[in-house]
Amino acid sequence: MRIVVDLNRCVGYAQCVPLAPEVLQLQGEEALAYDPNPDDSQRQRVARAVASCPVQAIIAEMDPPPDRTTK
Question: What's residue 67's pLDDT?
Answer: 65
Ranges of each domain in the chain: 2-61
CA distance from start to end of the chain: 10
pTM: 0.82
| Burial zone of 30 (CB within 10 Å; 0-12 exposed, 13-18 middle, 19+ buried) | exposed
What CATH number has the domain spanning 2-61?
Answer: 3.30.70.20
Per residue in 7-45, pLDDT (tens digit) is: 999 988 899 999 999 999 998 877 899 999 999 999 999
Q: Which phi and psi angles does 45 have, rounded to 5°?
A: -65, -45
